[in-house]
A = this chain, B = another copy of it.
Amino acid sequence: MSLIKDGKYSPVDSGVIGELTEIMGSENVSFDPDKIRVYSRDEVGGQFWESDYLAEVVVFPRNTEQVSALMRLASRKVIAVTPRGAGTGLSGGAVPAFGGIVVSFEKMNRILECDPVNLTATVEPGVITAEICRAAMPYGLQYAGDPCSGDASFIGGNVAENAGGNKVIKYGATGANVLGLEVVLPSGEVTWFGGKRRKDVTGLDLVHLVAGSEGILCLITKVIVKLVPLPSCIVDLLVPFSTMEEAISFVPKILTESRIVPASIECMNKNSLKIVSRYIGSSLPFEEAGAHLIIQLEGNDPDSLADDYERLGQACLSSGALEVFVADNRNSRDRLWKARKSVAEAVMAFYTRYAKEDVVVPTSEVPELMREVDRICEHYGLEGVNYGHVGDGNIHVNLLMEEDRPDWKSVIESARMELYSVTARLGGTLSGEHGIGLKRKKYMTIFLDEAQIGLIRRIKKAFDPLGILNPGKIVD
């Protein structure tokens, strides 16, 4: 046991390789150094890591039995195992911090069933999230867990991270859209949590404990997701406000005064709009406005949807909106969302030194958070590109350095620490949807107390007494 405590797992030697090959066939076991490098990274990027974490081998199971056999082997030999979805993660959750085996789920990518009577889909973890929507569409249904990375990310990774996205305000994050999980425990045991059932209080709710557990508790081998009616008409409103404060103050009124629950309430600050128009080479109107809201409304009847957006539009204008643009066809809606969804890429394209943060605060505290971010940016000579899911109080704060400075590391780190301290003071927390993984682990104690961290450690141990599954993530 002390072996594990010291982070010294058994190496993947030729004996282990032989067994892995026997379990999944040589075509599903790879040592190619290029492949190993690719499969040892996620989208956090290399600059973050202190050292170069690399897997010793990457495996591509094709079914649950292979995953189970793999875990029995890993348990017997005490080898570190890191599960991996599409690698679109933003926390280093899929990075093999202790070497060992990376398990890519890309070959477990079948939609096993779309069930329009029970309103569920049963899928393997390597299915690209958007594919579930495509499969459900002929039945007039959709999968509503919709991360911005839905065209690339895997559903298994979405569940592991409890991915959020644009529609949380109406439909909840990924976990709220999951009914059942087939999992492989670190011991190799295969079991089901939940099932094709809308309700279940038989024992503890392990489905939602696994959702967001970042692969430290078990491996997900099948997912049953909820499907919901696909709205027949959608409208997006683009609403510029002079200041972020005005924009955000309007948000709760949408629900209370207008009594409308939009599918999305997103925001972008002025800097977000600027860099995105530079990146995609086209701009949105009122580029000089302090903030833009994007509000998506859904309905089944065009007339009553028009009533809703007219009413909401009037309310926007009464609350200081500079204008209300209505995108009611596919083309104009796509243009709008392309801008919104390109901010993250634009940040990556133009800046090499940054803190990309994912804090969440009570919605009422977003204006104060934004003021503090401005202050922090000014103090450290940084630029703030702030955007995200304002309806949830989840703001992607990017503290950016235009030109490389020799002290970039300490400057970025100090700015980040100030951001966290402000976030904690406002009743917020470290991550709304990107996860902790390796990247944010050292900041956990700012937000969670000893009692909570102790519980997390002991729950981890309840699932994984040997500590072989995704070691080094969330807590030590």
- Please report A residues at the B interface, Cβ cutoff 8 Å: 115-120, 139-141, 161-162, 164, 168-169, 172-173, 175-176, 185, 187, 189-191, 193, 195-206, 208-209, 211-213, 228-232, 252, 255-257, 259-261, 300-301, 303-304, 307, 360-364, 389, 391-394, 427-436, 440, 444, 447-449, 451-453, 455-456, 458-459, 461-463, 474-475
Q: A255-B229, A364-B115 are in contact. Are A206 and B455 (CB under 8 A)?
A: yes
A259–B137 alpha-carbon span in the complex (Å): 12
Give the residue among A169, A187, A200 with the most B Cβ atoms within 10 A: A200
Q: A196-B427, A462-B461 are in contact. Are A118 and B362 (CB under 8 A)?
A: yes
Q: In the complex, given contacts A199-B389, A202-B436, what are 4 additional A-B residue pairs having Cβ atoms less than 8 angstroms apart? A: A120-B362, A198-B391, A203-B452, A205-B211
A432–B197 alpha-carbon span in the complex (Å): 9
Which residue of the partner chain, among B172, B199, B256, B461, contacts A432 with CB atoms under 8 Å? Answer: B199
Q: A140-B257, A394-B198 are in contact. Are A116 and B252 (CB under 8 A)?
A: yes
A175–B448 alpha-carbon span in the complex (Å): 21
Which residue of the partner chain, among B169, B209, B307, B431, contacts A202 with CB atoms under 8 Å? Answer: B431
Q: Are B189 and A451 in contact (CB under 8 A)?
A: yes
Contacts of A428 in B (CB 8 A): 197
Give the residue among A117, A161, A189, A453 with the most B Cβ atoms within 10 A: A117
Offer 7 A-B interface pairs, CB within 8 angstroms, sorted by A. Answer: A169-B198, A195-B362, A199-B389, A199-B392, A201-B436, A204-B456, A208-B208
Contacts of A213 in B (CB 8 A): 204-205
Q: Are A261 and B229 in contact (CB under 8 A)?
A: yes
Contacts of A139 in B (CB 8 A): 256
Q: A172-B176, A201-B162, A451-B185 are in contact. Are A363 and B118 (CB under 8 A)?
A: yes
Q: Are B364 and A118 in contact (CB under 8 A)?
A: yes
What are the 8 tightest A-B residue pairs by CB atom distance, in nearest-first order? A458-B462, A198-B392, A304-B304, A208-B208, A199-B432, A229-B259, A196-B362, A117-B364
Q: A140: nearest residue on chain B (CB-CB)?
A: B256
Q: Are B209 and A431 in contact (CB under 8 A)?
A: no
Q: Are A447 and B202 in contact (CB under 8 A)?
A: yes
Q: Are A201 and B212 in contact (CB under 8 A)?
A: yes
Q: Are B191 and A360 in contact (CB under 8 A)?
A: no
Which residue of the partner chain, among B193, B229, B232, contacts A256 with CB atoms under 8 Å? Answer: B229
Which residue of the partner chain, among B303, B434, B453, contacts A203 with CB atoms under 8 Å? Answer: B453
Q: Are B202 and A300 in contact (CB under 8 A)?
A: no
Q: Are B140 and A201 in contact (CB under 8 A)?
A: no
Q: A118-B364, A452-B203, A475-B203 are in contact. Are A429 and B197 (CB under 8 A)?
A: yes
A120–B392 alpha-carbon span in the complex (Å): 12
Q: Are A444 and B203 in contact (CB under 8 A)?
A: yes
A398–B448 alpha-carbon span in the complex (Å): 45
Question: Shortest beta-carbon distance, A326 to chain B, in Å?
Answer: 19
Contacts of A435 in B (CB 8 A): 201
Which residue of the partner chain, among B205, B363, B452, contacts A208 with CB atoms under 8 Å? Answer: B205
Q: A453: nearest residue on chain B (CB-CB)?
A: B203
Q: Are A199 and B173 in contact (CB under 8 A)?
A: yes
Contacts of A393 in B (CB 8 A): 118, 197-199
Q: Are A432 and B161 in contact (CB under 8 A)?
A: no
Q: Are B429 and A117 in contact (CB under 8 A)?
A: no
Contacts of A196 in B (CB 8 A): 362, 427
A105–B191 alpha-carbon span in the complex (Å): 37
Question: Shortest beta-carbon distance, A301 to chain B, in Å?
Answer: 6
Q: A228-B255, A260-B229, A304-B301 are in contact. Are A197 and B475 (CB under 8 A)?
A: no
